[in-house]
Structure 1
């Protein structure tokens, strides 16, 4: 490794020359105290229009599209949704290694962003242009194009998630970058989560409605991905990464960093809880609330609080630590999910209130793990003297996408066990009472149980951090001490 790229104590701060923040290209460097151009922060955030959309829409409606439009049995539909996303466990680390290798050799991550931007939108549109097939044939078509779309998404997402840790070594500036990213993420989730079901149901759950929806969402994906690719052309580079030689070496690096392993495990289980709930929302609207179109106001209640409460979660993280704030968000998510299970026995207002509380928690669950991830990547570089950001984020995104794939698959298993009856477009099939009960429990109690498991892993992460294994200075005591004294050289890095 070139020693000039290794982290070290910063030199004295010098006045920045006019225009110094605006790099001439991706090869420019920025010290720990350099501020990023506003256009770079905002432009980088645009990429979340794509990551938020692709992370939301398939999980929200793809399983329902298979079971209630293409008459695919629940077990087969679950496999068609799960297998392509499980492929990410293999492809994401490989993309991460390739992106690290390119960066270490003086290249840029931006060509990966462009490749994903040119391939994902058309593949997503084709995903919902299935031939007039039903059952296994339709499931096979969807699975193939979902696999291709997941691969294209990995090519974009893995380098994209890595970039904040390389654009600046200043944790405050990194927080600003992530703030824009999470802000656009909220916009993407709200826009795509409300728009996609509305377009799909506009014609009465017909294939034509889903085709229209696929094209519109593809345009949104292209806008976010191409916007991020273009806007980051002036992004500076504070540090270059390096790659692990093999997948085994990448996994060994994770085992060596106990805090990252616990954090990734927590994020995976929490993402699984969210994935199960997202997969169940459309079924909850149709069979518990009695209206397929109710999914739009339900989703709006969930996502509307995102922009409003995000600053509050950020403030709580600054004052008490990101891990403490994450614990609060997880407990709120758990309680709100349990409250949602009472909707069939109380009033519809209880369901909407519970979903709104889930939305408040969801804002924190989107922001706080990313904050802890950025801290962990920086701490790993300080501890080992190596830049392995994309190696870790490749495994991180693989775990996330696997969890989001397992969510619909797990919910499909609930449907199959409780005797859910699939149907074609325009058909009305009466569901047995046990299937309706399974839909309610799968949307509420199952995510609550998974969230409790994530809380246990969060406690492990805090123990690792407090023991000094990975993330120095992020515990509550350390943060209180930092407010009483200037930052040390190590903390500034």
Structure 2
């Protein structure tokens, strides 16, 4: 086992490193939020693509990411650079991500719906590819920055807090920018503004982690397939990943439904901004409280509690079918409370799993673990809009090209169910896997001692 520099150990990280690392969530939050919120209505209501085909277009680039993420993890594991194996990728891939994102919503008038849809697909695939090489190294960094069980939770607290703020910023302002400019130009301007937000996150994370400790053991031997096989046999990782993927699917379904709930159920597009404030406001405020409570009761127990809160809020959101603004906003706020914990705890548990594996085997598979993890998260977030689009199609949703259309009752019911009861059921189902997670703080602490001793040796 070797190290490039001394690891963070069990000591507290400087606040600047925590904030610097967390600032990467500006990029991941903007890219994870805006396409999920804006791309499906852009395709159905601006380009006039049928809901089912729009769902396919949204899904395919994310499906490609599922294949690419483990490869990105393997490549970052084997990257040799004075700045460490992860940090150089933040800038390399991040710059490409920002540029490709701006072009997704910049389709010119090509005189054909399918040519314009092809434009969206090509640049979404490019952006998704760049995102894989940014996100996977980024998520892998905590396992190497610190070996402390609790410090990883504190590190994730900053990350999730900044993520929540970014979701609120991007999710609330993207529809406002689109509506203020109007039409396709509104989407084009919105895409450029959001690409600049992504760029800020990329540069901030790269610069802010320049003084972060770099602790790493030797990269795992064998082919990528062999590495994936080893990771797949890690039971705690497997059940944690399944839980997170199902919840990502639930979140993606709700995110895709925001614009439709605002316009078709509540009757005003401006409600989309209010829904995002209700969702992210509680998450922004309560993330530190979830982290402190998790230090007392344990990460797994905190994850279960936050999941139940999220599921309760999602179920309550079914009241949106009656056009009830107040209860819809309350339900969305409750979802935000649960969502904060559902980000803090699994993100803090993932590096624990990777660290225990490194201590047991003497090989660094953090990148492979992270690649598989982000592939699963990407799959869940991609399937969410696809499931919602399928429900729209089954409900008989009528696509348009910027025209006002009255939707049938079946479509309104499909919107309500896709935004509420379906995500609630998926979240409850995920807990069946979470109950099988057995890794405890004592085992993580023992692995940290072994890892530090081996590195010193």
**TM-score range, shorter-chain basis?**
over 0.9
2:281 is matched with 304
Alpha-carbon contact 1:103-1:109 (below 8 Å) kept: no
Aligned to 1:78: 55
Give the equivalent residue in structure 2 for 1:149.
Answer: 127
Q: Counterparts of 1:193-212 in structure 2 under 5 Å?
A: 193-204=171-182, 206-212=183-189
Match of 1:176 among 154, 157, 172: 154
Change in Cα spacing, 1:90 to 1:241, as seen in structure 2 (3 Å) is: farther
Determine which of 391, 397, 421 is the counterpart of 1:445: 421
Question: Bigger CA drift: 154-163 or 369-378?
Answer: 369-378
After TM superposition, the structure 1 stretch with the greater mean CA deviation from structure 2, 173-182 or 437-446, is 173-182
With the length of structure 1 as denominator, give the TM-score of the two structures: 0.87
Give 1:385's aligned residue: 362
State the structure with more CA Rg.
Answer: 1
What residue is the counterpart of 1:18 in the other structure? none
Per the TM alignment, residue 487 of structure 1 is displaced from its structure 2 partner at its CA by 12
**Alignment RMSD, CA only?**
2.3
> Once the two structures are superposed, what CA deviation does each residue of 1:430-484 show, in whole Å capped at 9, x if it has no partner?
21110111011111111011112211111122xxx1xxxxx2437xxx99xx9xx
Cα distance between partner residues in 2 of 1:364 and 1:63: 27
8 Å Cα contact 1:264-1:399 kept in structure 2: yes
The answer for the alignment partner of 1:358 in structure 2 is: 335
- Find the counterpart in structure 2 of residue 44 from structure 1: 21
Distance 2:87 2:232 in 1: 29
Unaligned runs of 5+ residues in structure 1 are: 6-26, 466-470
Q: Which of 303, 307, 312 is equivalent to 1:330?
A: 307
For the pair 1:416 / 2:393, whether they are aligned, the reply is yes
| Cα distance change of structure 1 residues 371 and 492 upon mapping to structure 2, 3 Å threshold | farther
How many angstroms does 1:106 deviate by? 9.1
Q: Identify if the C-alpha distance between structure 1 residues 61 and 41 changes in structure 2 by more than 3 Å, giving closer, same or farther.
A: same
* Residue pair 2:266, 2:324 contacting (<8 A) in 1 also: no
1:460 correspondence with 2:428: no
Count of residues paired in the alignment: 452
**Counterpart Cα distance in 1 of 2:289 and 2:338:** 11
Query: What displacement does 1:31 show?
Result: 5.0
Does residue 262 of structure 1 match 2:230?
Answer: no
1:64 and 1:109 map into 2 onto residues whose CA distance is 35
**Structure 1 residue 382, shift from structure 2 partner:** 2.3
Q: Which runs of 5+ in 2 are unaligned?
A: none
For residue 491 of structure 1, report the CA deviation from its aligned partner. 10
TM-superposed CA distance for 1:107, in Å, is 5.1
2:5 to 16, 21, 28: 28
SS at match of 1:132: coil
Shift of 1:488: 9.6
Q: 1:147-198 CA distances to partner (integer Å, 9 max, x unpaired)?
A: 0000011111111111111112122333332222112111111111111111
Residues 104 and 243 in structure 1, CA contact (< 8 A), matched pair in contact too: no
CA distance in 2, matches of 1:55, 1:146: 12
Q: TM-score, normalised by structure 2?
A: 0.94
Superposition pairs for residues 90-489 of structure 1, below 5 Å? 90-103=67-80, 108-133=85-110, 135-204=113-182, 206-243=183-220, 245-345=222-322, 347-425=324-402, 427-461=403-437, 465=438, 471-473=439-441, 489=449
The answer to whether the Cα contact below 8 Å between 1:104 and 1:241 also exists between their aligned partners in 2 is no
CA contact (8 A) 1:79 1:409 kept: yes
